[in-house]
Chains A and B, each alone.
Chain A
Amino acid sequence: MTNNRNIGQAISVNVVDLSKSFGSEKVLKNINFNVTPGEIFVIMGPSGAGKSIMLKHIIGLLRPDTGKVLLNEMDVIERKTVEQNVIAMVFQEGALFNSLNVFDNLALYLREHRRYNKNNIRTKVTHALEMLSLGNAIDKFPPELSGGMRKRVAIARALVMEPQLLLYDEPTSELDPTMGATISEIIATVRNETQVTSIVVSHDRDLALTISDRVALMMAGEIIEINTPENLTKSKDPRVQSFLNPKINIDQPRFRQKEENK
């Protein structure tokens, strides 16, 4: 199973006419975009826009109602796609295995797929942890880690998989600005050193405009613009400008305006 993998080769992602509804609520509406191998592609948007649902479709955790996601031209819902390509995801809360310590969290994938022998697994895991300054956390359990450490362990766990596609779900949420900047630097460094295709879901403007090659802005289940960070900031679309440069107006607060519009 693991022998057919194209280890180390970044893969492309094509999302074609993707739609998804939960009951009567349409959460993704005819989404189309493509990500080239080695690119950092950030999907931005307000909370509830459907960004995380989009990410779960890309990794095959959810099945679309219509449309498809192609990884290197292979449909993600087919089993062989997941078997032939290594895709890793960094979950918003980390999704670390609470019953395993940090070392075992990182080693699990390598052990289960028999990628390396015991000594090499230890070397790989230690290297990944040291790369993210987590050498002293190797024997700790997830509940003993701070929020920033959990995120970094989750990234380290993804890195030991040597993925061709790396997905990040809100990697800087709930972190202080310095730790947020650190995580952004890690994402950029990982891409530069491994050439992995990276898709980042975030509403962190600094992250999106600093490290991404392209940014997609998503609102209410639709992508309203895909552009380079430079061009996105120059966009004439008022929705883009309102999202990128929100003004705090205590005389006319937004939540009151929304209530009045209803």
Chain B
Amino acid sequence: MFSLSKILEAIGSSVLLFLRSFTYLPSITRQFPRFMDQCYIMGYTTLPLVAILSFFIGSVLALQIGYSFQGVSFNQYIGSIVGLAMVREMGPVMTSIMVAGRIGSAITAELASMKVYNEVDALKTMNIPPERILVLPRLLAIILVMPVLAITAITVGWLGGALVAQNVSFIDLDHEIYFRVLKKFVTIDAIMDGLCKAEIFGIAVVTVCCNIGLRTHGGPREIGNAVTKGVVTSIILILFLNYFITKALL
């Protein structure tokens, strides 16, 4: 089922799809309405979900740290731990997983049904490469939108942590101390590393999901399978890339 040749073929076809799509960059003016549509779908409609997710991740992080270090007078460092965790790991990774679940699944489902119902073939017969009209606008949109989503996730996560740190009785940390310590430990480099990660994960999710969608054959069951495959592959890829990118950036 998971033969090496299939995995290598999937990686190779995804890389080729990514490269082929960017050969159509000069035609971006014709794709501008599609690019704007995708920015709206990927950015505006995903932003509230990312904010809710990050708020609670930041809150729970502060809660767990505060609870674990009760009586050790470690509370003043909650800001630094929540800050760094959100910037380096939780922000980019959780945002990307959210993007895989929400955007990746939608992309795979749309392209897979277009493939199954011959719409992709119809494009080819019109001498309109699917990479130009279907993949490129999505890739450019995620490149633009992903840093915005990641910054939102990080900021809201910090605020969630601050709210909990100030209002939970056994932590009782003033928000000014929380943010002063956070500011001391979270450097611009750390933020850039986090955004860099988020950007790579976002591109990987969109490329993989487009590739799986465009390689779907069969009927409704195969469309469903493709969506599952797209989301699962994206999440595994995010976790896999996260380890190696983190190691490279440290």
Contacts and interface: CB of A to CB of B under 8 A. Distances in A.
A93 B126 contact: no
B133 interface: yes
B125 A61 contact: yes
Interface in B19-36: 30
B117 A89 contact: no
A38 to B, nearest CB: 20
Number of contact residues on B: which range applies? 10 to 19
B127 A108 contact: no
A59 B124 CA distance: 9
Interface residues of A, number: 23
Interface of B is mostly: helix
B24 to A, nearest CB: 11
Contacts of B118: 91, 93, 95
A95 B114 CA distance: 9
A113 interface: yes
Contacts, number: 44
Interface in A146-202: 161
Contact of A112 (B117, B122, B133): B133
A108 B117 contact: no
A95 B119 contact: yes
Contact of A95 (B110, B122, B133): B122
Contacts of B117: 93, 95, 98
B89 interface: no
A249 to B, nearest CB: 34
Contacts of A112: 30, 126, 128, 133
A91 B122 contact: yes
B128 to A, nearest CB: 5
Nearest to B124: A61
B217 to A, nearest CB: 12
Interface of B: 30, 110, 114, 117-119, 121-122, 124-128, 133
Given A89-B125, A112-B133, 6 more contacts: A56-B121, A89-B122, A95-B117, A95-B119, A98-B119, A112-B128
